[in-house]
Structure 1
């Protein structure tokens, strides 16, 4: 029996990776939809055994009820996070949920460091100046990462990959994670990390407990001029609180690869549209803010791993095997 899969939020850049994994594969039939999954588009899943979704697809109770009505039995996440899925509703309708628990953690860690160095040494601004024959160094002053205290909140595979890179800078790395084990870093509580770090990088999942964990109270505990990097989930950070911290210069540098309302913005060309998100517009108006459109994962190696693990998850479900990456 063939497993039919509706892949939502399909992007051209991932076609080659999935085609390579599905080459000569007759067990799975994949149909791509550019639309993201939500209550309106869920009808497209009618007649499919499974849906494959990405980070900004909406898989809440309403959508899951529709999926169940249409006979969908499995939700395949091609990402690590699953905060966009109502697991209780999926369980109630006996719909299995599988994810990609890790895909090239080095890709995200390296992008994180790229944000740090770009913000710090202002290479993006220097690039634009040189193209206009402006070789003035004023306004481009940075600082050494060498010996700086860098705090990592959440030390899973991506956090550990970042630790390895930062150790090369001989940085003083602090880690706040309830599951952290001893390593080449100092384990501490959140207040200590917030108060002592020159740079803070977020690498924890989005839960009820971590939602807006970086808020005005957290900023009050930080050093003046601190750098904040978020390549994890947008809603870990209270965007309005960021604006306040940027205005007082408490926040000296902000690097974001994620944004709490990114589902309305990212992964599409919106250059011909009028920006409707006033908070985002205000954030990017600051000269010390750098935003990338959720591209931390975006390497050849990561895309290949995502496709391979997603296809393996689908095959396990199709063959009634134990699900290695099931989320319960």
Structure 2
């Protein structure tokens, strides 16, 4: 039988899957009846060979979908690359276009999930609830070292005002903060709510807290670097729940060592594909930068969990399936932001 004859146009090969992926996608597949095959491994040039007779691949944030992988996908007659996330910096869109492979994503699932996690990181770093929790469990009821500050009245700078940045702004305004924002296009709704759009330099100079909510691209890569850190207030708090590559890690480490950066909260990390979504508790981690970051008492690291709510995972599964169904039936997706190629 030829490979084209054996091709199953209803089969989806999932990569970088966790137990919760299987739970949610299997649950909502009852209404779609796709054939699902799950791989725990990352999609990369060495693992493309795992795909057998599937016309669709479903990938996540740390899968590698470069020109080499896309060429191999084309050879296997894959027609759709479905990202079950909003970011697409890990996909070579030009290569996909060259091989006539459709690429879709989930542009918005639960902006509130990520926005709320960003605020949770701010509150945890400020009021040191993570330290207080461990201290009390050891019957230490001292308050020494737990001093925080009032969030009310502080200036929060938001870089990127898409759905997540907009949701985060509403939360920050609710705390009584002065909210500054930077994006290529001003959001009139946010301005009416009381957000002031300013230059990027003004964000760096005036913010007590800076929260990153922009995509990773050529313009935003290492937007937090030595030059931008030098412009910031003393003891600034930086929060990143977007993409690890927005931060130049070595410069942030130096800023922490010098005391320029007072607090750092990261849910993403530039080299996270080697670490996150895995249990490495019995391993020796070879990444010196993440080990250094975790050694600081004023750094909070979570492992890409900002999206991780029941509501978000439900929407991710449903939107991904609907995207695929639309592409298979019409070649288009009603939500234009979901179709990349």
| TM-score (normalised: structure 2) | 0.94
Q: In 2, are the aligned partners of 1:80 and 1:102 still within 8 Å (CA)?
A: yes
Deviation at 1:2, TM superposition (A): 4.6
Partner of 1:141: 147
Q: In 1, are the aligned partners of 2:14 and 2:38 still within 8 Å (CA)?
A: yes
Gaps of 5+ in 1: none
Partner of 1:108: 114
Deviation at 1:16, TM superposition (A): 2.3
The number of aligned residues is 327
Partner of 2:101: 95
Q: In 1, are the aligned partners of 2:32 and 2:321 still within 8 Å (CA)?
A: no
User: Which of 43, 50, 57 is 1:37 aligned to?
Assistant: 43
Q: In 2, are the aligned partners of 1:45 and 1:72 still within 8 Å (CA)?
A: no
Q: In 2, are the aligned partners of 1:153 and 1:202 still within 8 Å (CA)?
A: yes
Partner of 2:63: 57
C-alpha offsets along residues 150-200 of structure 1, whole Å, 9 cap, x if unaligned? Answer: 000001100110111111111000000111223220000000010000000
| TM-score (normalised: structure 1) | 0.98
4+ runs deviating over 6 angstroms: none
Partner of 2:3: none
Partner of 2:168: 162
Q: In 2, are the aligned partners of 1:154 and 1:202 still within 8 Å (CA)?
A: yes
Quick one: distance in 2 between partners of 1:255 and 1:287?
11
Deviation at 1:24, TM superposition (A): 4.7
C-alpha offsets along residues 194-224 of structure 1, whole Å, 9 cap, x if unaligned? Answer: 0000000000000011100100100000000
Partner of 1:232: 242
Quick one: distance in 2 between partners of 1:2 and 1:95?
13
Tell me whether 1:12 sits opposite 2:10 in the alignment: no
Partner SS state of residue 11, structure 2: strand
More displaced, 111-120 or 16-25?
16-25
Partner of 1:288: 298
Quick one: distance in 2 between partners of 1:170 and 1:262?
34
Partner of 1:21: 28
Q: In 1, are the aligned partners of 2:262 and 2:298 still within 8 Å (CA)?
A: yes
More displaced, 40-49 or 246-255?
40-49
Quick one: distance in 1 between partners of 2:77 and 2:281?
38
Quick one: distance in 1 between partners of 2:22 and 2:165?
29
Tell me whether 1:327 sits opposite 2:337 in the alignment: no
Quick one: distance in 1 between partners of 2:152 and 2:32?
50
Partner SS state of residue 54, structure 2: coil
Quick one: distance in 2 between partners of 1:286 and 1:173?
28
Q: In 2, are the aligned partners of 1:257 and 1:296 still within 8 Å (CA)?
A: yes
